[in-house]
Structure 1
């Protein structure tokens, strides 16, 4: 593929496309989370700020979306592309943070649907159905973004580790020492 007189690999196109996909997914996840609230006459108002796990999700989603934008722009700057290890480390960190967010959101959803009888928490989704429905949607959107970052972390790992020679086997070491 030729763009502006420069050959662009398929891997770079996939990388850039995934980073572009993450940006609207992050925006959608942020919007859904920040606007998720529901009133109940008996129990009061429930919104994202009532749950620390959702505050964590908002923070990490904003970081991942911002990083995806910065990484997309900087991946097309030739000098920065030579620093593949920076992308590798950042992609790994963001992917792991997003895994933590999915776990946190999964726990919130589990407790919202099932409660915890040992600590006398009842389920909340019968009273806050709209809120729980949007949490399910947020989980799906965030999970798709996580899959994108998982693939991005594989691509960046491939880019970093193909720059090095494979380690020597024990037979090759013996030959070199003699």
Structure 2
């Protein structure tokens, strides 16, 4: 009778551990949602008009891409957080789906951050070789908001890298790699295997 009690207690402990892991992953998936929305809103409101002219985020393709990437990544974060929060058995297809999507959106947000960083750098320093002067002396408020948006995006990048590591760890520790050759093929091609 004592063994049944110990087994039941071990099962409850394992269930509690899985629930806390699921909660932690759900929160980690929600964090980039807030960050992406914040970066998106800061950039959407980024414009400046003065006696030298006007500049809007939409004047620069890199900043438009930053907004689109943050919007798409925020949507994915919400979707994946909801999907993670609901307890269901972990299957190989689910593991592969999360792994591939986490990788994809990590690269999307990294690309958006990188190209926007280049534009912000050029705005602050210019490029003397091609006769571009710095623009932040004239449009300082615009540059500050752009820097804030890009900085928030890179914090979201750290979250997506963490999610990518978690999903890859989960996939590659639970499941064996797919077999590419049958035993018959390996026997026939034994010279190639060592």
What is the aligned-residue RMSD (CA, Å)?
Answer: 2.5
Look up the match of 2:127: 116
Query: TM-score scaled to structure 1, two decimals?
Result: 0.85
Question: Do structure 1's residue 92 and structure 2's residue 92 form an aligned pair?
Answer: no
SS at match of 2:170: helix
How many residue pairs were aligned? 167
Question: Do structure 1's residue 142 and structure 2's residue 153 form an aligned pair?
Answer: yes
Look up the match of 1:74: 83
Distance 1:116 1:80, change over 3 A: farther
Look up the match of 2:40: 30
Partner deviation per Cα, 1:103-146 (whole Å, 9 max, x = no partner): 11110111001111222111000000001111111121111100
Query: TM-score scaled to structure 2, two decimals?
Result: 0.78
CA contact (8 A) 1:74 1:80 kept: no
Distance 2:34 2:89 in 1: 24
Aligned-pair CA distance for 1:31? 0.5
Look up the match of 1:56: 65
CA contact (8 A) 2:44 2:57 kept: yes
Distance 2:177 2:83 in 1: 28
Aligned-pair CA distance for 1:81? 4.4
Unaligned runs of 5+ in 1: 168-178
Name the structure with the higher helix share: 2
Larger radius of gyration: 2
Distance 1:62 1:165 in 2: 35
Unaligned runs of 5+ in 2: 1-10, 179-194
Runs of 4 or more, structure 1, over 6 Å off, are: none
